Amino acid sequence: MNLMSGRQVEYNLRRTMNKGLVSILNPDQLEQLAFKYFGVKNNNGEIRRVNVNIAATTVENYKLLKEKGIGTYILFQETYHKPTYDKMHPKSLKGDYNYHLTAFDRAMEAGIDDVGAGVLFGLADPRFEVLGLMMHNAHLEEKFGVGFHTISVPRLQPANGVSLENYPHLLDDKMFKKIVAILRIAVPFTGLILSTRETPEMRKELLKYGVSQISAGSSTGVGGYKEREEGKEVKQFKTNDERSPIEILKELLDARSKSYSPYSKFAVGAIILAKDGRIIKGANLENSAYGCSICAERTAMFQFKLLGYKKEDAEFLACIADTDEPVSPCGSCRQVMAELLAYHTPVYLYNLKGKNKKTTVEKLLPFAFSGEDLKWKK
């Protein structure tokens, strides 16, 4: 195997700390260096989870990854249509369709039950690809009791030396929205990931149809993050959303701009991402009788409840304000979180400088007072 040097691995790890996620290329690199950085902190970032995207490999190699405590193992089938797959992978390491297709079986046999799949829509008939994804997921659920943790839905984009004129199965926006909606209905608890291939407008629109995760600040070239810093990035394919992670955050939390805070001048925005992909926004609303004011977190949570959502329906809550450190919810908001959200619900705290902190409802208010405490003992 071709290994990155220790300095290269270290560089890439440190450059991605603030994202909380690192992708490594093969098991040897994990052994070589990567996992010594678990828990390493850099400014406001920390490596808490290492997700791995490597080519299909053996049960023995997957056991090695399992022993190292990886997060999600990600592998795209690219296309379930075998003739197309064979055409796209002539004489390559990925050329064995069946070996690639059964990679998740070997991973799960090795004890890895957190896997992320995906196809590149546009290579073959999209209806066939969706059926392939669902049959693959059903197979894993039947055999191992667990299916895909995530499904990525990239669309084919122009690339170096490649023209889209040779691909008759390209998806228009209307069909793409249908596919996202169908996947959300078919696998309601699976994360749907949308990449920077799509425009900001399309990414925002697809959150309504079921997308639950979006990437940001992506580089598509080999060694692209380092090359981008040096001003010589070469992209393998076109991306349409060039916004940084903090710009994505500001887009999602534009609720802050709706704040009515004429007295404190302290604007706060909050969102709740529901598991069906809907974003519920909140902002703080002040009153000249100060006691009548309400925080951004509570305006979001009350809307969440009134829309008919249950505690377990929240993917996360996030809030943002112009503070030196990540903004912290007040005591009243924490009590409402404990009432209307599940204790394990992630809570993301941000400031406008990009600093962030991840916590949970339970960590924000341990030993919370609840309805159980109001029940009289007989």
Same structural domain, 243 and 306: no
Per-residue model confidence as pLDDT tens digits over 17-37: 443 334 444 555 555 544 555
Same structural domain, 293 and 187: no
Strands 50-53 and 22-24: parallel
For the chain, how many structural domains are there in total? Answer: 2
Higher pLDDT, 68 or 220: 68
What's residue 276's pLDDT? 77
Same structural domain, 163 and 262: no
AA letter at 177? K
Same structural domain, 73 and 194: yes
Indicate the average pLDDT of the chain: 81
Domain holding 286: CATH number? 3.40.140.10
Asked if 362 and 344 touch (Cβ cutoff 8 Å), the reply is yes
Residue 9 belongs to some domain of the structure: no
What's residue 309's pLDDT? 93
Cα distances from 358 to residues 44, 220, 252, 281, in angstroms, run: 11, 27, 17, 19
Q: Known catalytic residues?
A: 297
- The first and second tokens of residue 26, run together, are 């093969």
Domain holding 108: CATH number? 3.20.20.70
Whether the pLDDT of residue 10 is over 50: the answer is: no
Range of the domain at 163: 55-249
Of 26-30, 71-75, 328-332, 351-355, the least confident = 26-30
Same structural domain, 292 and 170: no
- The first and second tokens of residue 163, run together, are 């023209």
Q: How many CB atoms lie within 10 A of CB 21?
A: 15
Whether the pLDDT of residue 43 is over 50: the answer is: yes
Helix (H) or strand (E) holding 137: helix 126-144
- The first and second tokens of residue 201, run together, are 């407008």
Whether the pLDDT of residue 145 is over 70: the answer is: yes
Task: Using the 3D structure, point to which of 228, 249, 270 is the last residue of a domain.
Answer: 249
Q: What Rg value do the Cα atoms of the chain yield, rounded? A: 22
What's residue 19's pLDDT? 39
Query: Span 141-145, mean pLDDT?
Result: 96
Of 109-123, 187-201, 279-293, 296-310, the least confident = 187-201
Residue 276 DSSP symbol: T
